[in-house]
Structure 1
Protein backbone atom coordinates (compact mmCIF):
# COMPACT_ATOMS: atom_id res chain seq x y z
CA UNK A 1 0.00 0.00 0.00
CA UNK A 2 1.31 3.45 -0.94
CA UNK A 3 0.40 6.51 1.14
CA UNK A 4 1.62 10.08 1.56
CA UNK A 5 3.27 11.60 4.62
CA UNK A 6 2.32 15.27 4.84
CA UNK A 7 5.21 17.70 4.99
CA UNK A 8 5.41 21.41 4.40
CA UNK A 9 5.42 22.26 1.56
CA UNK A 10 5.60 18.77 -0.04
CA UNK A 11 4.66 15.14 0.49
CA UNK A 12 6.60 11.92 0.92
CA UNK A 13 5.18 8.90 -0.82
CA UNK A 14 5.53 5.74 1.26
CA UNK A 15 5.13 2.01 0.79
CA UNK A 16 4.75 -0.51 3.62
CA UNK A 17 7.78 -2.71 4.31
CA UNK A 18 5.36 -5.45 5.31
CA UNK A 19 1.62 -5.32 5.99
CA UNK A 20 1.06 -3.11 9.03
CA UNK A 21 4.72 -2.38 9.68
CA UNK A 22 7.42 -0.06 8.44
CA UNK A 23 7.58 2.37 5.53
CA UNK A 24 9.78 2.76 2.50
CA UNK A 25 10.06 6.48 1.78
CA UNK A 26 10.08 7.04 -1.96
CA UNK A 27 11.93 9.64 -4.01
CA UNK A 28 13.74 11.26 -1.07
CA UNK A 29 17.38 12.32 -1.51
CA UNK A 30 18.72 12.82 2.00
CA UNK A 31 21.80 14.67 0.75
CA UNK A 32 19.66 17.51 -0.62
CA UNK A 33 16.43 17.23 1.43
CA UNK A 34 15.05 20.43 2.91
CA UNK A 35 13.96 20.87 6.53
CA UNK A 36 10.30 20.09 5.79
CA UNK A 37 11.18 16.83 4.07
CA UNK A 38 13.48 15.80 6.91
CA UNK A 39 10.70 16.53 9.40
CA UNK A 40 8.46 14.21 7.38
CA UNK A 41 11.12 11.49 7.51
CA UNK A 42 11.35 11.79 11.29
CA UNK A 43 7.57 11.72 11.64
CA UNK A 44 7.36 8.57 9.52
CA UNK A 45 9.97 6.90 11.70
CA UNK A 46 8.07 7.55 14.94
CA UNK A 47 4.83 6.21 13.48
CA UNK A 48 5.98 3.15 11.54
CA UNK A 49 8.61 1.34 13.64
CA UNK A 50 11.13 1.27 10.77
CA UNK A 51 11.87 3.28 7.62
CA UNK A 52 13.85 2.54 4.46
CA UNK A 53 15.35 5.02 2.00
CA UNK A 54 17.09 3.54 -1.03
CA UNK A 55 19.69 4.87 -3.47
CA UNK A 56 21.32 7.29 -1.05
CA UNK A 57 24.86 8.70 -1.39
CA UNK A 58 26.03 9.99 1.99
CA UNK A 59 29.48 10.62 3.43
CA UNK A 60 30.17 10.13 7.18
CA UNK A 61 29.56 13.80 7.94
CA UNK A 62 26.20 13.73 6.17
CA UNK A 63 25.23 10.53 7.99
CA UNK A 64 26.03 12.15 11.33
CA UNK A 65 24.06 15.28 10.44
CA UNK A 66 21.10 13.21 9.28
CA UNK A 67 20.82 11.04 12.39
CA UNK A 68 20.93 14.23 14.51
CA UNK A 69 17.43 14.99 13.19
CA UNK A 70 16.19 12.16 15.43
CA UNK A 71 18.05 13.22 18.56
CA UNK A 72 21.56 13.56 19.87
CA UNK A 73 23.87 11.01 18.20
CA UNK A 74 24.94 8.28 20.64
CA UNK A 75 28.47 7.07 21.33
CA UNK A 76 29.53 3.43 20.94
CA UNK A 77 30.64 1.14 23.75
CA UNK A 78 33.25 -0.48 21.51
CA UNK A 79 35.14 2.43 19.95
CA UNK A 80 38.00 0.73 18.12
CA UNK A 81 35.90 0.46 14.95
CA UNK A 82 34.56 4.01 14.76
CA UNK A 83 35.67 6.01 11.73
CA UNK A 84 38.65 8.32 12.35
CA UNK A 85 37.29 11.83 12.76
CA UNK A 86 33.69 10.56 12.98
CA UNK A 87 33.23 9.01 16.43
CA UNK A 88 29.47 8.51 15.96
CA UNK A 89 29.98 6.30 12.88
CA UNK A 90 30.68 2.64 13.68
CA UNK A 91 31.93 0.31 10.96
CA UNK A 92 30.59 -3.22 10.48
CA UNK A 93 32.82 -5.12 8.07
CA UNK A 94 34.82 -8.27 7.39
CA UNK A 95 37.49 -6.38 5.46
CA UNK A 96 41.06 -6.50 6.71
CA UNK A 97 43.46 -3.70 5.71
CA UNK A 98 47.19 -3.87 6.47
CA UNK A 99 46.56 -6.90 8.65
CA UNK A 100 43.89 -5.22 10.78
CA UNK A 101 40.09 -5.51 10.61
CA UNK A 102 38.43 -2.21 9.68
CA UNK A 103 35.17 -3.04 11.43
CA UNK A 104 33.29 -5.40 13.72
CA UNK A 105 32.44 -8.68 12.00
CA UNK A 106 29.25 -10.68 12.72
CA UNK A 107 28.21 -7.99 15.20
CA UNK A 108 24.49 -7.97 15.94
CA UNK A 109 23.70 -11.62 15.16
CA UNK A 110 21.01 -12.76 17.60
CA UNK A 111 17.66 -11.18 18.40
CA UNK A 112 18.15 -8.07 20.53
CA UNK A 113 17.53 -4.36 20.93
CA UNK A 114 20.54 -2.04 20.92
CA UNK A 115 21.99 -0.81 24.20
CA UNK A 116 19.45 -2.80 26.23
CA UNK A 117 22.14 -2.93 28.94
CA UNK A 118 22.08 0.87 29.36
CA UNK A 119 19.71 2.89 31.60
CA UNK A 120 18.63 4.76 28.45
CA UNK A 121 18.87 2.43 25.43
CA UNK A 122 19.32 4.04 22.03
CA UNK A 123 16.10 5.23 20.42
CA UNK A 124 16.97 4.43 16.83
CA UNK A 125 19.56 2.48 14.90
CA UNK A 126 20.58 3.47 11.39
CA UNK A 127 22.53 1.29 8.97
CA UNK A 128 23.94 2.64 5.71
CA UNK A 129 25.06 0.06 3.14
CA UNK A 130 28.52 0.74 1.67
CA UNK A 131 29.08 -2.72 0.16
CA UNK A 132 26.86 -5.79 0.42
CA UNK A 133 27.20 -9.49 -0.46
CA UNK A 134 25.29 -10.90 -3.41
CA UNK A 135 23.56 -13.26 -0.98
CA UNK A 136 23.06 -13.48 2.77
CA UNK A 137 23.58 -10.73 5.38
CA UNK A 138 19.87 -9.86 5.55
CA UNK A 139 18.66 -7.79 8.50
CA UNK A 140 15.48 -8.95 10.25
CA UNK A 141 13.24 -6.65 12.30
CA UNK A 142 10.48 -7.98 14.56
CA UNK A 143 7.42 -5.84 15.32
CA UNK A 144 6.93 -5.84 19.10
CA UNK A 145 3.62 -3.96 18.90
CA UNK A 146 2.01 -6.48 16.57
CA UNK A 147 3.25 -9.31 18.79
CA UNK A 148 1.82 -7.64 21.91
CA UNK A 149 -1.53 -7.09 20.21
CA UNK A 150 -1.62 -10.76 19.18
CA UNK A 151 -1.46 -11.93 22.81
CA UNK A 152 -4.67 -12.78 24.63
CA UNK A 153 -5.89 -10.41 27.35
CA UNK A 154 -4.95 -13.07 29.90
CA UNK A 155 -1.40 -13.31 28.55
CA UNK A 156 -1.07 -9.53 28.48
CA UNK A 157 -2.20 -9.27 32.11
CA UNK A 158 0.35 -11.90 33.12
CA UNK A 159 3.25 -10.15 31.40
CA UNK A 160 2.53 -6.47 31.95
CA UNK A 161 4.58 -5.23 34.89
CA UNK A 162 7.37 -7.81 34.65
CA UNK A 163 10.94 -6.53 34.49
CA UNK A 164 14.10 -8.04 33.01
CA UNK A 165 17.62 -7.79 34.42
CA UNK A 166 20.13 -6.84 31.70
CA UNK A 167 23.92 -7.18 31.99
CA UNK A 168 26.60 -6.06 29.51
CA UNK A 169 29.23 -8.02 31.42
CA UNK A 170 27.16 -11.20 31.05
CA UNK A 171 26.56 -10.50 27.36
CA UNK A 172 30.25 -10.03 26.53
CA UNK A 173 31.24 -13.15 28.47
CA UNK A 174 28.68 -15.42 26.77
CA UNK A 175 28.03 -14.11 23.25
CA UNK A 176 28.74 -16.41 20.31
CA UNK A 177 31.15 -14.12 18.44
CA UNK A 178 34.05 -12.32 20.11
CA UNK A 179 33.66 -13.17 23.80
CA UNK A 180 35.75 -11.04 26.11
CA UNK A 181 36.34 -10.25 29.76
CA UNK A 182 35.64 -6.61 30.49
CA UNK A 183 38.16 -4.31 32.12
CA UNK A 184 37.23 -2.82 35.48
CA UNK A 185 36.75 0.51 33.72
CA UNK A 186 34.27 -1.03 31.25
CA UNK A 187 32.41 -2.78 34.07
CA UNK A 188 32.07 0.49 35.97
CA UNK A 189 30.83 2.27 32.85
CA UNK A 190 28.21 -0.40 32.14
CA UNK A 191 26.48 -1.48 35.36
CA UNK A 192 23.55 -3.90 35.25
CA UNK A 193 20.07 -2.42 34.68
CA UNK A 194 16.41 -3.43 34.87
CA UNK A 195 13.89 -2.70 32.10
CA UNK A 196 10.20 -3.54 31.59
CA UNK A 197 9.30 -6.59 29.52
CA UNK A 198 6.42 -4.61 28.03
CA UNK A 199 7.51 -1.17 26.86
CA UNK A 200 5.27 1.84 26.25
CA UNK A 201 6.09 4.00 23.22
CA UNK A 202 6.34 7.67 24.23
CA UNK A 203 5.08 8.94 20.87
CA UNK A 204 1.55 7.55 21.15
CA UNK A 205 1.36 5.14 24.10
CA UNK A 206 1.33 1.95 22.05
CA UNK A 207 2.72 -1.08 23.86
CA UNK A 208 5.36 -3.48 22.61
CA UNK A 209 6.62 -6.88 23.67
CA UNK A 210 10.24 -6.01 24.48
CA UNK A 211 12.39 -8.97 25.50
CA UNK A 212 15.94 -9.46 24.24
CA UNK A 213 18.56 -12.15 23.99
CA UNK A 214 22.16 -11.97 25.10
CA UNK A 215 21.90 -9.39 27.86
CA UNK A 216 19.06 -10.85 29.97
CA UNK A 217 20.21 -12.73 33.06
CA UNK A 218 16.83 -13.27 34.76
CA UNK A 219 13.28 -12.02 35.26
CA UNK A 220 13.19 -9.70 38.26
CA UNK A 221 11.49 -11.45 41.17
CA UNK A 222 12.01 -14.90 39.58
CA UNK A 223 15.49 -15.59 40.88
CA UNK A 224 15.18 -16.92 44.42
CA UNK A 225 16.67 -20.24 43.28
CA UNK A 226 18.05 -21.80 40.10
CA UNK A 227 14.78 -23.54 39.23
CA UNK A 228 12.80 -20.29 39.36
CA UNK A 229 15.52 -18.45 37.46
CA UNK A 230 15.43 -21.11 34.74
CA UNK A 231 11.65 -20.82 34.57
CA UNK A 232 11.93 -17.07 34.06
CA UNK A 233 14.54 -17.43 31.31
CA UNK A 234 12.39 -20.06 29.62
CA UNK A 235 9.55 -17.54 29.58
CA UNK A 236 11.81 -14.96 27.95
CA UNK A 237 12.95 -17.49 25.34
CA UNK A 238 9.34 -18.42 24.57
CA UNK A 239 8.40 -14.76 24.13
CA UNK A 240 11.35 -14.11 21.82
CA UNK A 241 10.33 -17.16 19.79
CA UNK A 242 6.75 -15.85 19.63
CA UNK A 243 7.81 -12.32 18.65
CA UNK A 244 10.17 -13.52 15.92
CA UNK A 245 7.63 -15.61 14.02
CA UNK A 246 7.51 -14.80 10.30
CA UNK A 247 4.18 -13.01 10.68
CA UNK A 248 5.83 -10.31 12.82
CA UNK A 249 9.17 -10.06 10.99
CA UNK A 250 10.36 -7.86 8.13
CA UNK A 251 13.36 -9.27 6.26
CA UNK A 252 15.52 -6.64 4.58
CA UNK A 253 17.62 -7.60 1.58
CA UNK A 254 20.34 -5.02 1.22
CA UNK A 255 21.36 -2.90 -1.74
CA UNK A 256 24.28 -0.46 -1.80
CA UNK A 257 23.01 2.99 -0.80
CA UNK A 258 20.23 1.71 1.48
CA UNK A 259 19.50 3.64 4.66
CA UNK A 260 17.49 1.45 7.05
CA UNK A 261 16.39 2.78 10.45
CA UNK A 262 14.42 1.01 13.13
CA UNK A 263 12.84 2.09 16.39
CA UNK A 264 14.47 0.21 19.27
CA UNK A 265 11.57 1.15 21.54
CA UNK A 266 9.20 -1.28 19.82
CA UNK A 267 11.29 -3.82 17.89
CA UNK A 268 13.91 -6.53 18.09
CA UNK A 269 16.39 -7.12 15.29
CA UNK A 270 19.14 -9.47 14.18
CA UNK A 271 21.72 -9.70 11.47
CA UNK A 272 22.19 -12.89 9.48
CA UNK A 273 25.36 -14.63 8.36
CA UNK A 274 26.88 -14.71 4.88
CA UNK A 275 29.84 -16.38 3.17
CA UNK A 276 32.63 -14.15 4.43
CA UNK A 277 35.22 -16.14 2.48
CA UNK A 278 33.51 -15.15 -0.76
CA UNK A 279 31.97 -11.72 -0.11
CA UNK A 280 32.73 -8.43 1.59
CA UNK A 281 30.21 -6.45 3.60
CA UNK A 282 30.70 -2.93 4.92
CA UNK A 283 28.02 -0.96 6.76
CA UNK A 284 28.05 2.29 8.70
CA UNK A 285 25.98 2.23 11.89
CA UNK A 286 24.77 5.27 13.81
CA UNK A 287 22.54 5.65 16.84
CA UNK A 288 20.37 8.40 18.33
CA UNK A 289 20.05 8.65 22.09
CA UNK A 290 16.92 7.35 23.77
CA UNK A 291 15.18 7.64 27.13
CA UNK A 292 14.48 5.36 30.06
CA UNK A 293 11.98 2.59 29.13
CA UNK A 294 8.65 2.52 30.97
Structure 2
Protein backbone atom coordinates (compact mmCIF):
# COMPACT_ATOMS: atom_id res chain seq x y z
CA UNK A 1 0.00 0.00 0.00
CA UNK A 2 1.45 3.39 -0.95
CA UNK A 3 1.30 6.63 1.02
CA UNK A 4 -1.19 8.30 -1.33
CA UNK A 5 -4.01 5.78 -1.14
CA UNK A 6 -7.38 7.40 -0.51
CA UNK A 7 -10.81 5.97 0.08
CA UNK A 8 -14.29 6.95 1.25
CA UNK A 9 -16.42 5.23 3.84
CA UNK A 10 -19.54 6.30 5.75
CA UNK A 11 -19.36 9.79 4.24
CA UNK A 12 -15.79 10.32 5.41
CA UNK A 13 -12.61 10.75 3.38
CA UNK A 14 -9.53 8.75 4.36
CA UNK A 15 -5.99 9.42 3.09
CA UNK A 16 -3.03 7.34 4.14
CA UNK A 17 -0.21 9.50 5.50
CA UNK A 18 2.71 7.03 5.29
CA UNK A 19 2.94 3.40 4.20
CA UNK A 20 3.60 2.29 7.81
CA UNK A 21 1.37 4.47 9.97
CA UNK A 22 -1.33 7.11 9.91
CA UNK A 23 -4.51 8.15 8.11
CA UNK A 24 -5.92 11.66 7.73
CA UNK A 25 -9.70 11.72 8.14
CA UNK A 26 -11.73 14.38 6.33
CA UNK A 27 -15.41 15.23 6.62
CA UNK A 28 -15.74 14.79 10.38
CA UNK A 29 -16.83 17.56 12.76
CA UNK A 30 -15.96 16.16 16.17
CA UNK A 31 -17.72 19.01 17.98
CA UNK A 32 -20.96 17.26 17.01
CA UNK A 33 -22.06 13.69 17.82
CA UNK A 34 -20.54 11.17 15.40
CA UNK A 35 -23.01 8.71 13.87
CA UNK A 36 -22.61 5.00 14.50
CA UNK A 37 -21.65 4.18 10.89
CA UNK A 38 -18.95 6.86 10.89
CA UNK A 39 -17.78 5.76 14.34
CA UNK A 40 -17.24 2.20 13.13
CA UNK A 41 -15.32 3.43 10.07
CA UNK A 42 -13.13 5.57 12.32
CA UNK A 43 -12.52 2.68 14.71
CA UNK A 44 -11.60 0.34 11.85
CA UNK A 45 -9.11 2.86 10.44
CA UNK A 46 -7.60 3.41 13.88
CA UNK A 47 -7.07 -0.30 14.49
CA UNK A 48 -5.57 -0.92 11.05
CA UNK A 49 -3.39 2.21 10.73
CA UNK A 50 -2.63 3.02 14.41
CA UNK A 51 -3.06 6.80 14.05
CA UNK A 52 -5.80 9.13 12.83
CA UNK A 53 -5.44 12.85 12.09
CA UNK A 54 -8.45 15.20 12.17
CA UNK A 55 -7.62 18.75 11.09
CA UNK A 56 -9.46 22.03 11.62
CA UNK A 57 -11.45 20.94 14.66
CA UNK A 58 -13.06 23.39 17.11
CA UNK A 59 -13.33 21.13 20.10
CA UNK A 60 -14.44 22.32 23.55
CA UNK A 61 -13.78 19.92 26.44
CA UNK A 62 -17.25 18.37 26.49
CA UNK A 63 -17.33 17.05 22.89
CA UNK A 64 -13.66 16.05 23.16
CA UNK A 65 -14.58 13.90 26.15
CA UNK A 66 -17.75 12.55 24.54
CA UNK A 67 -16.00 11.57 21.28
CA UNK A 68 -13.25 9.81 23.23
CA UNK A 69 -15.77 8.05 25.46
CA UNK A 70 -17.40 6.42 22.41
CA UNK A 71 -14.32 4.16 22.28
CA UNK A 72 -14.42 3.19 25.97
CA UNK A 73 -14.25 4.53 29.53
CA UNK A 74 -11.67 7.26 30.14
CA UNK A 75 -8.64 7.27 32.42
CA UNK A 76 -7.90 9.98 34.97
CA UNK A 77 -4.15 10.59 35.05
CA UNK A 78 -2.14 9.91 38.22
CA UNK A 79 -0.83 13.52 38.07
CA UNK A 80 -4.14 15.05 39.14
CA UNK A 81 -2.66 18.54 39.43
CA UNK A 82 -2.43 18.65 35.63
CA UNK A 83 -6.02 17.60 34.93
CA UNK A 84 -8.44 20.24 33.64
CA UNK A 85 -10.55 21.67 36.49
CA UNK A 86 -14.16 20.44 36.24
CA UNK A 87 -13.07 18.04 33.47
CA UNK A 88 -10.62 15.59 35.08
CA UNK A 89 -10.83 13.33 32.03
CA UNK A 90 -8.65 15.88 30.19
CA UNK A 91 -4.94 15.88 30.95
CA UNK A 92 -3.18 19.18 30.18
CA UNK A 93 0.19 19.11 28.43
CA UNK A 94 1.71 22.59 28.42
CA UNK A 95 4.79 24.69 29.16
CA UNK A 96 2.62 27.67 30.19
CA UNK A 97 3.13 29.08 33.69
CA UNK A 98 0.30 30.90 35.49
CA UNK A 99 0.48 32.32 39.01
CA UNK A 100 3.95 30.88 39.41
CA UNK A 101 3.09 27.26 38.53
CA UNK A 102 2.87 25.14 35.41
CA UNK A 103 -0.71 24.54 34.31
CA UNK A 104 0.16 21.22 32.68
CA UNK A 105 2.73 18.47 32.34
CA UNK A 106 5.81 20.12 30.86
CA UNK A 107 9.14 19.07 29.47
CA UNK A 108 7.48 16.53 27.26
CA UNK A 109 8.01 12.78 27.09
CA UNK A 110 10.88 12.97 24.61
CA UNK A 111 11.67 9.27 24.79
CA UNK A 112 9.68 6.69 22.85
CA UNK A 113 6.85 5.14 24.86
CA UNK A 114 3.31 3.80 24.82
CA UNK A 115 0.98 5.54 27.25
CA UNK A 116 0.25 3.73 30.50
CA UNK A 117 2.11 0.57 29.47
CA UNK A 118 3.08 0.42 33.16
CA UNK A 119 -0.53 -0.35 34.13
CA UNK A 120 -1.97 -3.88 34.20
CA UNK A 121 -4.57 -2.68 31.70
CA UNK A 122 -2.87 0.01 29.59
CA UNK A 123 -4.87 2.53 27.63
CA UNK A 124 -6.50 1.70 24.32
CA UNK A 125 -5.42 5.03 22.94
CA UNK A 126 -5.25 8.78 23.35
CA UNK A 127 -6.93 11.70 21.61
CA UNK A 128 -4.54 14.67 21.67
CA UNK A 129 -5.93 18.10 20.74
CA UNK A 130 -3.86 21.18 19.92
CA UNK A 131 -4.98 24.61 21.16
CA UNK A 132 -1.63 26.44 20.92
CA UNK A 133 1.71 25.36 19.46
CA UNK A 134 5.09 26.94 18.70
CA UNK A 135 5.90 28.09 15.18
CA UNK A 136 8.96 25.82 15.19
CA UNK A 137 9.52 22.48 16.92
CA UNK A 138 7.17 20.73 19.29
CA UNK A 139 6.18 18.03 16.82
CA UNK A 140 5.13 14.56 17.93
CA UNK A 141 6.68 11.46 16.35
CA UNK A 142 4.83 8.17 16.05
CA UNK A 143 6.14 4.69 15.26
CA UNK A 144 4.24 1.66 13.97
CA UNK A 145 4.92 -1.34 16.17
CA UNK A 146 3.07 -3.50 13.63
CA UNK A 147 5.64 -2.58 11.00
CA UNK A 148 8.53 -2.99 13.44
CA UNK A 149 7.46 -6.49 14.43
CA UNK A 150 6.85 -7.55 10.82
CA UNK A 151 10.37 -6.38 9.85
CA UNK A 152 12.25 -8.04 12.73
CA UNK A 153 14.74 -10.74 11.80
CA UNK A 154 13.18 -14.15 12.30
CA UNK A 155 15.67 -15.08 15.02
CA UNK A 156 14.84 -11.97 17.05
CA UNK A 157 11.11 -12.54 16.58
CA UNK A 158 11.42 -16.07 17.95
CA UNK A 159 13.42 -14.72 20.91
CA UNK A 160 10.69 -12.18 21.72
CA UNK A 161 7.64 -14.41 21.19
CA UNK A 162 6.43 -15.49 24.61
CA UNK A 163 8.97 -13.31 26.45
CA UNK A 164 7.84 -10.75 29.01
CA UNK A 165 9.24 -7.42 30.19
CA UNK A 166 8.72 -5.33 33.33
CA UNK A 167 7.22 -1.87 32.76
CA UNK A 168 7.91 0.42 35.71
CA UNK A 169 6.65 4.03 35.92
CA UNK A 170 8.58 4.75 39.11
CA UNK A 171 11.82 3.66 37.39
CA UNK A 172 10.89 5.80 34.36
CA UNK A 173 10.01 8.87 36.44
CA UNK A 174 13.12 8.71 38.63
CA UNK A 175 15.42 8.06 35.66
CA UNK A 176 14.05 10.26 32.89
CA UNK A 177 11.71 12.86 34.47
CA UNK A 178 14.04 14.43 37.00
CA UNK A 179 12.94 17.92 35.87
CA UNK A 180 9.53 17.30 37.49
CA UNK A 181 8.77 17.34 41.24
CA UNK A 182 9.21 13.90 42.87
CA UNK A 183 6.21 11.62 43.05
CA UNK A 184 4.49 11.35 46.40
CA UNK A 185 4.44 7.99 48.15
CA UNK A 186 0.72 7.79 47.37
CA UNK A 187 1.40 8.31 43.65
CA UNK A 188 4.19 5.72 43.68
CA UNK A 189 1.92 3.16 45.31
CA UNK A 190 -0.60 3.52 42.49
CA UNK A 191 1.90 2.45 39.80
CA UNK A 192 3.76 -0.69 40.90
CA UNK A 193 5.86 -2.52 38.27
CA UNK A 194 3.90 -4.76 35.90
CA UNK A 195 4.91 -7.57 33.55
CA UNK A 196 3.77 -7.30 29.92
CA UNK A 197 4.31 -9.50 26.85
CA UNK A 198 7.06 -8.23 24.54
CA UNK A 199 4.85 -9.03 21.56
CA UNK A 200 1.25 -7.89 21.83
CA UNK A 201 -1.61 -9.32 19.79
CA UNK A 202 -4.03 -6.58 18.80
CA UNK A 203 -7.46 -7.62 20.15
CA UNK A 204 -9.37 -6.26 17.15
CA UNK A 205 -7.10 -6.96 14.16
CA UNK A 206 -5.24 -10.02 15.47
CA UNK A 207 -1.96 -8.52 14.20
CA UNK A 208 1.25 -8.78 16.20
CA UNK A 209 2.97 -5.63 17.47
CA UNK A 210 6.23 -5.09 19.33
CA UNK A 211 5.37 -3.93 22.85
CA UNK A 212 8.34 -2.55 24.75
CA UNK A 213 10.64 0.46 24.84
CA UNK A 214 13.85 1.69 26.42
CA UNK A 215 12.20 4.41 28.50
CA UNK A 216 9.58 2.44 30.42
CA UNK A 217 10.92 -1.10 30.61
CA UNK A 218 13.38 -1.70 33.43
CA UNK A 219 14.29 -5.26 32.38
CA UNK A 220 13.20 -8.49 30.75
CA UNK A 221 11.85 -11.14 33.10
CA UNK A 222 14.61 -13.58 34.00
CA UNK A 223 17.33 -11.08 33.06
CA UNK A 224 19.09 -8.34 34.99
CA UNK A 225 18.70 -4.66 34.05
CA UNK A 226 22.35 -4.66 32.96
CA UNK A 227 21.70 -7.53 30.54
CA UNK A 228 18.41 -6.06 29.38
CA UNK A 229 19.31 -2.43 28.64
CA UNK A 230 21.44 -3.01 25.49
CA UNK A 231 18.75 -5.24 23.96
CA UNK A 232 16.01 -2.74 24.80
CA UNK A 233 18.07 0.02 23.20
CA UNK A 234 18.63 -2.08 20.08
CA UNK A 235 14.95 -2.93 19.72
CA UNK A 236 13.76 0.63 20.35
CA UNK A 237 16.16 1.98 17.73
CA UNK A 238 15.04 -0.69 15.26
CA UNK A 239 11.34 0.04 15.85
CA UNK A 240 11.74 3.80 15.41
CA UNK A 241 13.73 3.92 12.20
CA UNK A 242 12.34 6.36 9.58
CA UNK A 243 10.57 3.67 7.53
CA UNK A 244 8.23 2.98 10.46
CA UNK A 245 7.63 6.54 11.71
CA UNK A 246 5.64 9.72 11.09
CA UNK A 247 6.47 13.15 12.53
CA UNK A 248 3.39 15.34 13.00
CA UNK A 249 3.83 19.12 12.81
CA UNK A 250 0.97 20.52 14.89
CA UNK A 251 -1.46 23.26 13.95
CA UNK A 252 -4.19 24.63 16.26
CA UNK A 253 -7.32 22.57 15.69
CA UNK A 254 -5.48 19.32 15.01
CA UNK A 255 -6.67 16.25 16.87
CA UNK A 256 -4.50 13.13 16.64
CA UNK A 257 -5.95 9.88 17.89
CA UNK A 258 -3.45 7.05 18.27
CA UNK A 259 -3.72 3.38 19.18
CA UNK A 260 -1.41 2.55 22.09
CA UNK A 261 -1.80 -1.15 21.31
CA UNK A 262 0.19 -0.82 18.08
CA UNK A 263 2.11 2.47 18.21
CA UNK A 264 4.69 4.35 20.24
CA UNK A 265 5.26 8.10 20.28
CA UNK A 266 7.48 10.83 21.64
CA UNK A 267 7.51 14.64 21.87
CA UNK A 268 10.05 16.68 19.94
CA UNK A 269 11.84 19.62 21.61
CA UNK A 270 10.95 23.29 21.16
CA UNK A 271 11.77 26.65 22.74
CA UNK A 272 9.92 26.16 26.03
CA UNK A 273 10.92 29.56 27.40
CA UNK A 274 10.14 31.66 24.34
CA UNK A 275 6.97 30.04 22.96
CA UNK A 276 3.70 28.51 24.15
CA UNK A 277 2.26 25.02 23.75
CA UNK A 278 -1.14 23.98 25.07
CA UNK A 279 -2.55 20.52 24.39
CA UNK A 280 -5.50 18.61 25.84
CA UNK A 281 -5.39 14.82 25.99
CA UNK A 282 -7.99 12.22 26.79
CA UNK A 283 -6.95 8.62 27.39
CA UNK A 284 -9.25 5.68 26.75
CA UNK A 285 -9.04 2.66 29.03
CA UNK A 286 -7.91 -0.57 27.45
CA UNK A 287 -7.56 -4.20 28.43
CA UNK A 288 -4.78 -6.48 29.59
CA UNK A 289 -2.15 -7.07 26.85
CA UNK A 290 -1.83 -10.66 25.64
CA UNK A 291 0.21 -12.57 23.10
CA UNK A 292 -1.45 -15.14 20.89
CA UNK A 293 1.02 -16.72 18.45
CA UNK A 294 0.22 -16.01 14.83
CA UNK A 295 -0.70 -19.64 14.08
CA UNK A 296 -3.18 -19.64 16.97
CA UNK A 297 -4.62 -16.28 15.91
CA UNK A 298 -5.27 -17.45 12.35
Q: Shorter chain as normaliser: what TM range?
A: over 0.9
Q: How much has 1:46 moved relative to structure 2?
A: 1.7
Root-mean-square deviation (Å): 1.5
SS in 2 for 1:154: helix
Residue aligning to 2:41: 40
Q: How much has 1:45 moved relative to structure 2?
A: 1.2
Which consecutive unaligned segments of at least 5 residues does structure 1 have? 224-228
Aligned equivalents of 1:273, 1:181: Cα separation in 2: 22
Residue aligning to 2:127: 126
- Normalised by the length of structure 2, the TM-score is 0.92
Q: What do residues 61-103 of structure 1 show as CA deviations (whole Å, max 9, x unaligned)?
A: 1110010011111110111011110001011111111222111
Return closer, same or farther for 1:27/1:2 CA change in 2, 3 Å cut-off: farther
Asked whether the equivalents of residues 83 and 90 of structure 1 are also in contact (C-alpha less than 8 Å), the reply is yes
Residue aligning to 1:4: 7
Q: How much has 1:214 moved relative to structure 2?
A: 2.5
SS in 1 for 2:238: helix
SS in 2 for 1:123: strand
SS in 1 for 2:165: strand
Q: What do residues 183-236 of structure 1 show as CA deviations (whole Å, max 9, x unaligned)?
A: 33223221110001111101121011111232211110113xxxxx32222111
Aligned equivalents of 2:160, 2:127: Cα separation in 1: 30
Aligned equivalents of 1:187, 1:93: Cα separation in 2: 23
- Normalised by the length of structure 1, the TM-score is 0.93
Residue aligning to 1:50: 51
Aligned equivalents of 1:145, 1:200: Cα separation in 2: 10
Q: How much has 1:180 moved relative to structure 2?
A: 4.7
SS in 1 for 2:158: helix
Asked whether 1:268 is paired with 2:264, we answer yes
Residue aligning to 1:226: none
Residue aligning to 1:111: 112
SS in 2 for 1:240: helix
Asked whether the equivalents of residues 128 and 257 of structure 2 are also in contact (C-alpha less than 8 Å), the reply is yes
Residue aligning to 2:16: 16
**Structure 1 stretch 105-114 or stretch 175-184: which is displaced more?**
175-184
Aligned equivalents of 2:185, 2:92: Cα separation in 1: 25
Number of equivalences: 286
Asked whether the equivalents of residues 68 and 284 of structure 2 are also in contact (C-alpha less than 8 Å), the reply is yes
Asked whether the equivalents of residues 83 and 92 of structure 2 are also in contact (C-alpha less than 8 Å), the reply is yes
Q: How much has 1:176 moved relative to structure 2?
A: 3.9
